[in-house]
Structure 1
Amino acid sequence: MADNAVPSEHYQLGMSVRRSVLGDAHVDRASNAATDFDAPFQQLITEAAWGTVWARPGLTRRERSIVTIALLAALGQDEEVAMHIRATENTGATREDICEALMHVAIYAGIPASNHAFKIAKQTYAEMERKKAEK
């Protein structure tokens, strides 16, 4: 948001949803890293993705999480897959849910995309387990 701009309703809702899904630490890092160059992009994704699509009533957060991971895997968006795997702690999507989604990716988007996404998911789940064990 521009310093003088009043956040829109979609932005405020989007920020709330974004924080509940991705966690405060992630959103704070993204917000603090924003520059004049990419601030408009951060505003766009907060309003459109989080304040509009993720805030819609038609699917649960769990269901949106599963769909999002499958789409990101199909598109080969590795960092985003990992980020949304970590977010499953907040959305309620289980490992079984993600396995089933990645099985669909194999059939509808290709074995290599699914294979790579399974690798990322396994690494991300292992990282999550390590962090839990450290606490």
Structure 2
Amino acid sequence: MLSSPAPFSFPMAQFILFVFTVSTIYHLQRRLLRSHPTWEVPTTTPQTGLVTESPTRSALEGMFTINAIGRLGNQMGQYATLYALAKANRRPAFIPEQMHHTLAPIFKITLPVLHESTAAKVPWRSYHLNDWMED
């Protein structure tokens, strides 16, 4: 007697639906935790009764800025890259004064300006970025 097994039974469909649902919930939870790494509750100071929020991770780990070199086209690209990196890493970004003087008459600049006197007081750490176009 030849009998062919049922290619897709109802219990198999329930199992696949269960695995898909659990996988979706798992991945959405991981994505949510990545976008909101700190779930901090505001605290109340007993003496004053004021509600204060503890500093978040982004406030403690610095900011992004750029060494503005080049003319208009290069500075436009540098501004766009700085803006995108700051948004992607949830860090504040500041542009130098000379970049603001170059771009502000032409474009609506939304990043704040880092003045030279303030920049001179900051203990900077430079990071090397690889040139992915090199051999």
TM tier, smaller: under 0.3
Q: Which has the higher helix share?
A: 1
Q: TM (normalized to structure 1)?
A: 0.24
Whose Rg is larger?
A: 2
Indicate the structure whose relative CO is greater, using CA pairs within 8 Å and at least 6 residues apart. Answer: 1
Q: Which has the higher strand share?
A: 2
